[in-house]
Structure 1
Amino acid sequence: MKQTKQMSETHLLAILLAVVGGFLDAYTYICRGHVFANAQTGNIVLLGLHLTNQDWKKAFYYFVPILAFVLGILICETIQTFFKWKKAIHWRQLVVLLELICLIFAGFMPLGKADTLVNVMVSFVCALQVEAFRKMNGNSYATTMCTGNLRSATENLYRYLETKNKHCLKNSLQYYNVIVFFIAGAAVGSCLTLRMGAHAVWVSCIGLLAVFLAMFHSRQEKEA
């Protein structure tokens, strides 16, 4: 039977990726120098603050993950351009594999001196993820930040209250669900990071591995 929806756009993958996103944000904030490596808004604000204070060292510290995020977007688009029509493997699976490699390597980096490098790697990973997975059941969303999801969830809720359109209610609940799982990922990430330290990032790889396997299984079924 022909599939009408890509696995990469399913609600299941959205919540798995949201857990990973929340986990990584908690990880970098707790044990990697209080940097939000997922959404760059906080880093941009802190960059501006330290530039104003002429604290060039701290300004550079927050500029580096922003630059890594930009690089991640460029790399993701490059992967899509060169591998979009390859049959052997989906380009999004390559993106997930690259994420896994980066996070596994990050787990070996010691706390303290290597924090800047790890934050760069996590920012890079989050850029790959947010660029590669942008649709959930046809709707735009994000797995590494919540502001846009919160806006979309509440907007759809208002539309449901106004029109009683159940499709709007479904969209709203799915957006809120992604936010809940992001929070859950942050909570788990906080607990495990406090217990495991630098190695805690490896736990987030479980979610990415599940995403990779789900996409692989879906591709196999589609070709069968």
Structure 2
Amino acid sequence: MVCAGGMMDGYAFTAHDQVFATGQTGNVVRLALATSLLDPCSFLRYFIPIVSFIMGIILSRLVSSRCFHGRQDQMQSWVIDFEAITFAVIGVFADYIPDVLSDCLIASCAAMSFENFRELGQGSRYSSTYCTGNLRSFSEALYEGTFGHEPSELRRALHYLALIGSFFIGVVICSYFVERIGGSAALLISVTFLLARLFVDGWLSGGLASE
């Protein structure tokens, strides 16, 4: 999921005029700059993905409470299916979907991933769509493992480092293919979500979802 998060951001930034679709901090900064410059076009370009991210969170909560009654495993599977279908549509119709609509869809998908994939192993929190929180958790675990002499924290630090690396690789892969095949690279994100579904459903490694 973290690799897919990197791919989403790499795709939106590379294929759609340098808009951030996952971590919204960059869009908020650019929105503030557009406001200070009295640039209404730039304002809308960054405001719309922010609103779409908010709507993605709201939609996720509605579906979770109304359709799955809080069952996190079912909700996670639904989110992955929804995102796989969404990116397949974006990839197939990349030449016909306006940038603003693609940014809205990607931001909404990023919000759903962020809302529904939050825990790594035994209650450790993580982010599947940006790196700031993961960098903080990595630094904390590294400190506790190094100066607190706790081997378990060093292992936890390695887990967070792997997450950051996965996000990095996702950005690299998607940006590479956007430069070569254009908007159709969204199909790679769809495939990545389908592969993630195997892990969420516990079809690999003897049941990862239950760990």
For the criterion TM > 0.5, the same-fold answer is yes
Q: Which runs of 5+ in 1 are unaligned?
A: 1-16
Q: Is the 8 A contact 1:32 1:112 kept in 2?
A: no
Q: Are residue 22 (structure 1) and residue 22 (structure 2) matched? A: no
Shift of 1:201: 0.8
RMSD across aligned C-alpha pairs, in angstroms? 2.2
Deviations along 1:44-75, whole A, 9 cap, x unmatched? 11011111111111101110000000011111
Write out the 4+ residue segments of structure 1 that deviate beyond 6 Å after TM superposition: 219-222
TM-score by length of 2: 0.90
SS of match in other structure, 2:201: helix
Deviations along 1:50-107, whole A, 9 cap, x unmatched? 11111111101110000000011111111221233598x8121111111112111211
Shift of 1:213: 2.6
Q: What amino acid does structure 1 have at the position aligned with 2:83?
A: E
Deviations along 1:15-53, whole A, 9 cap, x unmatched? xx1111111111111111111111000001101111111
TM-score by length of 1: 0.85
**Percent of aligned pairs sharing the same letter:** 28
2:48 aligned partner: 64
Q: Is the 8 A contact 2:199 2:208 kept in 1?
A: no
1:176 aligned partner: 161
Shift of 1:112: 8.6
Q: Which runs of 5+ in 2 are unaligned?
A: none
Q: Are residue 35 (structure 1) and residue 30 (structure 2) matched? A: no
2:134 aligned partner: 149
Q: What amino acid does structure 1 have at the position aligned with 2:168?
A: I
Say how many residue pairs are matched: 205
1:115 aligned partner: 99
1:187 aligned partner: 172
Q: What amino acid does structure 2 have at the position aligned with 1:99?
A: E
Deviations along 1:94-129, whole A, 9 cap, x unmatched? 111111121112113445971111011100110000
Residues of 1 paired with 2:101 and 2:70: CA distance?
Answer: 32
